[in-house]
Structure 1
């Protein structure tokens, strides 16, 4: 098409339907993403069709709503933003060259650990996280081998950035949380989806996520990744150093408190749950469905 204005798309749809002897008068619904040319109140495709065919109710694609909710949540949390940025850097470095991809594939086969290919985060959230998680050690070996061949490849800085407890911890957490939202995404794309159940599905997902705020779930993530860090020789998380105040500024009622890295991580972990849950809730309010 020459352009994607609502008017041009409407003319194109009418032309194509006429070509197949289909009448718009039989249209009872329309579903697109939330782009202005599709959903605009006055000039969008949906409003143009609705003006001529009142039965053609417009519904903003629910899977796209979920996608937008996750985007909103991800961009607001530093730990998530950093982890996802590193996932994309891994993909760009290894998959950006057939030689580098071959190194990865060779080591992957040798490890017999996973057959999952690397995926860009923008394509599919859950599978991009799980592919890095399951191939983590292979990726480390790949980056080391690439660095031996090409010192200017940025493989070594990337290796250092992911050879950290924070990366493996948040990668593990995001893989689990995106798995939960992926289940919702699949449900929202089924052909027999009941319009009246959409909010119920969203609420169930939120409840499932909120359940993970219980300390026992955090402890499982923490202990699992502490063990992995120990096994791989990754430095364990340590409490940040506190700049000491001069003694004259410290009294008995205002003693300096140590900062617990585990508590900091738990707070960030809960923030991820809160942000994702709130974003889903806002996108799937009854009034907006």
Structure 2
């Protein structure tokens, strides 16, 4: 018995094969017992040949017996020679890349159509059809069948693609053909999109239709992606032709998809936290663009779900806050933890900033949580504590406040007008002035460094701005005032001192933000910056005086401090000039009332703000340092055990 047969339907086009019109299927299909497989719309008559046993169905009826006739085996046969020639031509077209005339889409389609025509001329003969029908379940027949299927599908997909890109400009066609590998054209289209008027519109426009000027940034990005991706291009084409009704591009379905993804991610995070059981919480509040207070909730735990056990942090979401007091924030925290299914008794740590509503020892969030769970130890953010130390230093005396006021005024003056900014760029070689950041004082190093290394250039820009005829009167007055202030030796010396301090603090702040930072390393960094302040207090003023005098010499400024007016009196013939003594007195006043006050404030602030860290280090420090743990004897280990037990079980 012969095996059941599969049918291929080949529809011959009624017009030349190189055209791009849609052909209608034609031709009568012969009846066979095998299943019918529809192919691309460029084929017509049918042939049938047996399936292999692996592809045959038990319920299929026995196929008709067809007399076997051998295929022509000589390569000199006209039909075979023509088939080989068209195959070589199609392969040569696919491999050619240099000549655009021979690699055009129309020529490629013509080669494929010629190959199909040559194959059809061979398969339409009764001898090849009979030979295929009686080939049996052989590996050759299976390979031949797979090859015919792949060829037909490739031809159909190629024709549909050419219909889509037939009306596209050459540049867009090249981009779509090469896909995301065509980085050159992607860059051009991205720049075109950024410079277009649609780029500044809302993410969701007032219109949800494709290729509409008011459809917003989301659909505009989809349209841009379609220029480089054939799949997206075909999807948009089907939408425009109304071939599909569910295109998943509306704002509602996109929001729903995002919500589903967020829900799935949240459930995965909750599962990891519950497997770990114990966790710590990190909270921070900020205002969004709509001036609504929101609190971010981050959970820190040990991830034991994978083979590699790691301490990881997970963001659980933003919590809407109406009451920013300690009680209001605490209630929002408790409600959110209950909604996620977490037990408040499993909290083993809490970390916030140093705000009074968070850190307060009586009404703060940390105190209220400790009353509920005594094991939820509170540790303020180390970077924020270091930042507040700089804030304390910047407010230690009026001279320091005035210094940063001058720095901000310089930026405000030049950034207030494009003409004034152009004057600055004409004089400043590299670093431009930066605005001060009120929340991250360690980043003020950029603002001070721009003036520290370019003070003569910035002063020259202020001089030009003051004498320019087209400068506004208020800007002229500000330029003259800043020109005089920068030219004082007090400002130059303060600039050098603050640059040294901000640079050292910025280095420590970056290290504290490292993901591998631990308690022992944090204390090493804090001890290092405290040692730096102590050393700088003893040696920094003299070294800063030397650098400031060099800068003043370049700027043409006299390296002297302002002298308070003294009552004039008649000098005796044997009295010396006291001007040098007055200058020394001004230098001493600056050191005592400016330099020492600022550094003393830094030392005291660091000790107070990192006091809790020292307490934790006394309890858990030996456990986090292997060398310290090995150095302890049995008595010390027992004492450490009892201290930790009392601390954890209080």
TM range (shorter): 0.7 to 0.9
What's the offset of the Cα at 1:4? 1.2
**Which of residues 424, 445, 460 in structure 2 aligns to 1:141?**
460
Q: Residue in 2 aligned with 1:169? A: 493
Distance 1:19 1:94 in 2: 51
**Which of residues 221, 224, 229 in structure 1 aligns to 2:547?**
224
Does structure 2 retain, via aligned residues, the 8 Å contact 1:88–1:121?
Answer: no
What's the offset of the Cα at 1:152? 1.4
Q: Residue in 1 aligned with 2:369? A: 49
Structure with the largest fraction of strand: 2
What's the offset of the Cα at 1:68? 2.4
Distance 2:379 2:557 in 1: 48
Structure 1 residues 192-229: Cα deviation after superposition (integer angstroms, max 9, x where no partner): 433355454323212112222445x4343222221221
Does structure 2 retain, via aligned residues, the 8 Å contact 1:242–1:258?
Answer: no
SS of the aligned residue for 1:30 comes to strand
What's the offset of the Cα at 1:288? 7.2
Q: Residue in 1 aligned with 2:602? A: 276
**Residue 151, structure 1, aligned to residue 456, structure 2:** no
SS of the aligned residue for 2:581 comes to coil
Query: 1:239-250 counterparts in 2 under 5 A?
Result: 240=563, 243=566
Distance 1:144 1:207 in 2: 41
TM-score, normalization by structure 2: 0.38
SS of the aligned residue for 2:350 comes to strand
Does structure 2 retain, via aligned residues, the 8 Å contact 1:29–1:56?
Answer: yes
Distance 1:239 1:128 in 2: 26
**Which of residues 380, 392, 406 in structure 2 aligns to 1:86?**
406
Structure 2 vs 1, CA of residues 202 and 80 (structure 1 numbering), >3 Å: closer, same or farther?
same
Number of aligned residues: 279
Structure 2 vs 1, CA of residues 51 and 274 (structure 1 numbering), >3 Å: closer, same or farther?
closer
Q: Residue in 2 aligned with 1:39? A: 359
Q: Residue in 1 aligned with 2:107? A: none
Q: Residue in 1 aligned with 2:504? A: 180
Structure 2 vs 1, CA of residues 151 and 199 (structure 1 numbering), >3 Å: closer, same or farther?
same
Distance 1:100 1:59 in 2: 49
**Residue 193, structure 1, aligned to residue 510, structure 2:** no
Structure 1 residues 223-256: Cα deviation after superposition (integer angstroms, max 9, x where no partner): 22212212222233157367357689xxx9xx99
**Residue 204, structure 1, aligned to residue 519, structure 2:** no
**Residue 3, structure 1, aligned to residue 3, structure 2:** no
**Which of residues 378, 402, 425 in structure 2 aligns to 1:58?**
378
Distance 1:160 1:242 in 2: 20
SS of the aligned residue for 2:351 comes to strand
Does structure 2 retain, via aligned residues, the 8 Å contact 1:180–1:209?
Answer: no
Structure with the largest fraction of helix: 1
Distance 1:19 1:13 in 2: 10
Distance 1:222 1:59 in 2: 40
Q: RMSD across aligned C-alpha pairs, in angstroms?
A: 3.4
Does structure 1 retain, via aligned residues, the 8 Å contact 2:420–2:465?
Answer: no
Structure 1 residues 92-142: Cα deviation after superposition (integer angstroms, max 9, x where no partner): 3233x24266325632xx64332x541215243323322332343343234
Structure of larger gyration radius: 2
Q: Residue in 1 aligned with 2:81? A: none
Does structure 2 retain, via aligned residues, the 8 Å contact 1:202–1:281?
Answer: no
**Which of residues 430, 433, 443 in structure 2 aligns to 1:113?**
430
Residue segments in structure 1 that go unaligned for 5+ positions in a row: none
TM-score, normalization by structure 1: 0.79
What's the offset of the Cα at 1:174? 0.6
**Residue 69, structure 1, aligned to residue 389, structure 2:** yes
Distance 1:49 1:101 in 2: 53
Distance 2:333 2:323 in 1: 14
Distance 1:173 1:288 in 2: 32
Distance 2:500 2:435 in 1: 17
What's the offset of the Cα at 1:257? 9.5
Distance 1:38 1:152 in 2: 44
**Which of residues 551, 556, 559 in structure 2 aligns to 1:236?**
559
Distance 2:423 2:354 in 1: 38
SS of the aligned residue for 1:113 comes to coil
Residue segments in structure 2 that go unaligned for 5+ positions in a row: 1-320, 617-650
Distance 1:272 1:9 in 2: 35
